[in-house]
Amino acid sequence: MPEEQMVTANRPISHEGRTYHMGTKRGELANRIITVGDHQRARHLSTFLDEIRFEHLSPRGFLTITGLYRSHSISIVAIGMGLSMMDFFVREARMVVDGPLSIIRFGSCGSICDDASIGDVIIAQEAFGITRNYEFFEESRGEPYKIWPMVKADPKLTGEMERRFIKELGSVVKGSVGNADSFYSSQGRKGDEFYDANDGLLESIREKYEGVVGLEMESHMLFHLAKWSTGRDNLRPPSIRAACVLMVYADRQGDRFIDPQTSKYLVEKSATVILDTLVSDLTT
């Protein structure tokens, strides 16, 4: 087999140039991307595009929809949940897109502050990780959870999105977001099916990061990889700008969860704000 056709273990890209997990190749993914967790949200957002030109659902569950919005190419990608899915997405998107990438995550979160409740919109200024510490559980060493250093969102993309959201909604909540490796244990949810040692976790998080407003599961990985994206060809590092806007689905203080009508309404209010941010001059 000629060398250029080999699918290597290091970078398994198919003979047609498709990445292994997302299944997209050059030309199918735009430089401007909105990424969400679930397929329904992706499909709902895609109704705000002027035209849909490409759609692909990979066997691994990544749904990519690429189309035009105000004459600009935009992709909407549903990645599922968690750090690993964000890692697959950012790396494989970077493999097949030339030029700078602008990525906005439009997700949901739980609020752990007084300022944000069900139906509010949070704009993450920065994010940090929260992971289960296996040394604690297996070897009785250290604390049960690791709370990792903060990483900033792209200030320009975030500022532009914030300005547009305030114009649309009147106000938004700004703050730091914790990106946990579980919806349950490392977000401080309680249950008696597992030993999670998370009684004081929310207090520890608030103590370490006073400005924390919400918890979710992907933002820190997105910001971290964007920050450490290298230059390539004529690109200067970082080659990825990233921002994150979150709908509050869970009010952890009041112990309430969102209803489907409110989440649909929030997508409708947010869709063009995010799309307009992505096609604004700063993302060229």
Interface with ligand R1P, residue 136, by CB under 6 A: no
How many Cβ atoms are within 10 Å of 236's Cβ, its own excluded? 9
| Stretch binding ligand R1P (CB under 6 A), from 9-17, 155-163, 167-175, 216-224 | 216-224
Pick the closer one to ligand R1P by CB: 37 or 67. Answer: 37
Length of the chain: 284
| Stretch binding ligand R1P (CB under 6 A), from 32-40, 156-164, 226-234, 276-284 | 32-40
CB of 137 to ligand R1P, least distance (A): 23
- Binding ligand R1P (rule: CB under 6 A), the pick from 46, 64, 102, 108 is 108
Interface with ligand R1P, residue 217, by CB under 6 A: yes
Q: Which option in ligand R1P, ligand URA, none does residue 215 bind, with CB closer than 5 to 8 A by kind?
A: ligand URA
Q: Which option in ligand R1P, ligand URA, none does residue 37 bind, with CB closer than 5 to 8 A by kind?
A: ligand R1P
Residues that bind ligand URA (CB under 6 A): 108-110, 183, 187, 215-217, 249-250
Pick the closer one to ligand R1P by CB: 154 or 218. Answer: 218
Interface with ligand R1P, residue 222, by CB under 6 A: no
Q: What is the 3-state secondary structure (H, E, C) of the chain?
A: CCHHHCCCCCCCECCCCCECCCCCCCCCCCCEEEEECCHHHHHHHHCCCCEEEEEEECCCCCEEEEEEECCEEEEEEECCCCHHHHHHHHHHHHHHCCCCEEEEEEEEEEECCCCCCCCCEEEEEEEEEEEECHHHHHHCCCCCEEECCCEECCHHHHHHHHHHHHHHHCCCEEEEEEEECCCCHHHCCCCCCCCCCCCCHHHHHHHHCCCEEEEECCHHHHHHHHHCCCCCCCCCCCCEEEEEEEEEEEECCCCEECCHHHHHHHHHHHHHHHHHHHHCHHHC
CB of 108 to ligand R1P, least distance (A): 3
Cβ atoms of 123 and 215 closer than 8 Å: no
| Cis status of the peptide bond prior to 2, with omega within 30 of 0 | no
* Contacting ligand R1P within 81-100 (CB under 6 A): 81
* Contacting ligand R1P within 63-82 (CB under 6 A): 81
Interface with ligand R1P, residue 216, by CB under 6 A: yes
Q: Which option in ligand URA, ligand R1P, none does residue 221 bind, with CB closer than 5 to 8 A by kind?
A: none
Q: Which option in ligand R1P, ligand URA, none does residue 187 bind, with CB closer than 5 to 8 A by kind?
A: ligand URA
Interface with ligand R1P, residue 162, by CB under 6 A: no
- Per CB under 6 A, residues contacting ligand R1P are 36-38, 81, 107-108, 183, 216-218
